[in-house]
């Protein structure tokens, strides 16, 4: 718990002898895309059964040699996180609710029979990397540095059991708008053939295997002419859970009294930090909010009657993405007028303003990583 923190492991810093030249970095930052180019450094912290977490280091970004029998490659014992560093108006760099990610990482670790990394070391690793690679954080609106902490089993062997050694790494990649072309509504495919998560499974954990299992459904959505797959519950195939790797929200009615709803966390949904933040932000803006259960029939009927006015997906990478149309095996419908709705856009702007330091932060969600002036060194 952050109220009773164990001290973070000290991180030894070895700067790269060959960081990218400023011109090359600027060219990347001008059009970063998503997850294509990585910064000059990474943090690595190994764990083994004898020493626990030890020998934390910030080192030049580069390949990691692996034994072909590395257990993660065979049995998928891997978890990850995703959050962003944002340039603030002062020039400082901050991130958003990193302890939420640290706690979720620990929950994912527990589900995958992996060791927990303490929250303070998790956040210290982010701080060390962003401090070293601060020049990779663009000051431009909607640009950020995506941070990817992850952990996998490094023990070599083919016996199926929890590994006795793991590696935690943090890498970073400059990010522009996740979906190119700005706030463009996406079309979604309701998948009744494939499911993302079943009761008792790993749906609430951020683990690699969930994503591997989702790819064929995403491909099917694209074959049906849609941008994204919407996951339904595994038991009845009726209740809406998530869209791709994002949580979903439904808006009923319009104006400031519009009701903002999201599927409840049943154990098969991933508890998004963005989802949690938007529930609070929508309440702050005066909207009644609720965590509910929404069936596909209810969604279709709500659209037909005009009761459901807007639907959007949310997550760290893409922030908020409106859903414009829905397709399933027996038909198709348009959400509202197919355009991004006012509640969607207002929430999106409110969240971005908060993250980029353009709005007051009453909930103290913005966490400083690098101060405004001077180039602080880690250690």
Ligand X SMILES: *Cc1c(COP(=O)(O)O)cnc(C)c1O
Interface ranges with ligand X (CB under 6 A): 82, 206, 242, 245-247, 270, 272-275, 315-316
Q: Which residues pair with 230 in a beta bridge?
A: 190, 243
The single residue listed with the structure tokens 């001290």 is 7
Closer CB to ligand X, 132 or 144, in the complex: 144
Closer CB to ligand X, 138 or 316, in the complex: 316
Closer CB to ligand X, 73 or 208, in the complex: 208
316-336 burial: b if 16+ Cβ within 10 Å, else e: bbbbbbbbbbbbbeeeeeebb
CB of 178 to ligand X, least distance (A): 11
| Chain CA centroid to CA 369, Å | 18
Q: Phi/psi at 274 (nearest 5 deg)?
A: -65, -45
Closer CB to ligand X, 53 or 194, in the complex: 194
Closer CB to ligand X, 78 or 242, in the complex: 242
CB of 207 to ligand X, least distance (A): 9
CB of 90 to ligand X, least distance (A): 25
CB of 205 to ligand X, least distance (A): 9
CB of 64 to ligand X, least distance (A): 23
CB of 255 to ligand X, least distance (A): 26
Closer CB to ligand X, 11 or 86, in the complex: 86
Cα distance between residue 230 and residue 239, in whole Å:
10
């Amino acid at each position: 718990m952050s109220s009773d923190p164990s001290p973070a492991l000290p991180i030894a810093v070895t700067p790269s002898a060959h960081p990218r030249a400023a011109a090359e970095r600027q060219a990347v930052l001008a059009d970063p895309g998503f997850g294509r180019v990585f910064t000059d450094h990474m943090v690595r912290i190994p764990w083994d059964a004898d020493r626990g977490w030890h020998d934390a280091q910030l080192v030049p970004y580069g390949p990691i040699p692996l034994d072909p029998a590395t257990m993660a490659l065979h049995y998928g014992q891997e978890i990850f996180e995703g959050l962003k560093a944002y340039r603030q108006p002062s020039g400082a760099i901050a991130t958003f609710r990193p302890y939420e990610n640290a706690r979720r990482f620990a929950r994912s670790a527990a589900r995958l029979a992996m060791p927990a990394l303490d929250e303070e070391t998790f956040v210290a690793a982010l701080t060390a990397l962003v401090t070293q690679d601060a020049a990779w954080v663009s000051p431009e609106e909607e640009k950020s540095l995506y941070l990817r902490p992850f952990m996998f089993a490094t023990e070599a062997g083919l016996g199926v059991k929890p590994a006795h050694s793991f590696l935690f790494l943090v890498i970073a990649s400059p990010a522009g708008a996740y979906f190119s072309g700005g706030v463009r509504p996406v079309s979604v495919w309701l998948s009744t053939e494939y499911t993302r998560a079943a009761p008792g499974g790993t749906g609430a954990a951020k683990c690699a295997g969930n994503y591997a299992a989702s790819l064929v459904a995403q491909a099917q959505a694209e074959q049906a002419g849609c941008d994204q797959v919407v996951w339904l519950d595994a038991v009845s195939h009726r209740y809406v859970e998530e869209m791709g790797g994002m949580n979903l929200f439904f808006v009923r009615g319009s104006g400031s009294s519009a009701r903002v709803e999201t599927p409840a966390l049943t154990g098969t949904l991933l508890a998004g930090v963005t989802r949690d933040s938007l529930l609070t932000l929508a309440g702050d803006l005066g909207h009644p909010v609720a965590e509910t259960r929404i069936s596909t029939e209810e969604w279709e009927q709500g659209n037909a009657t005009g009761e459901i006015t807007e639907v959007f997906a949310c997550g760290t990478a893409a922030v908020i993405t409106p859903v414009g149309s829905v397709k399933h095996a027996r038909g198709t419908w348009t959400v509202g007028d197919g355009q991004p709705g006012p509640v969607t856009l207002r929430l999106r702007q409110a969240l971005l303003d908060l993250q980029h330091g353009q709005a007051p932060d009453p909930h103290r969600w913005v966490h400083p990583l690098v101060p405004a002036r001077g180039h602080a060194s880690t250690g």
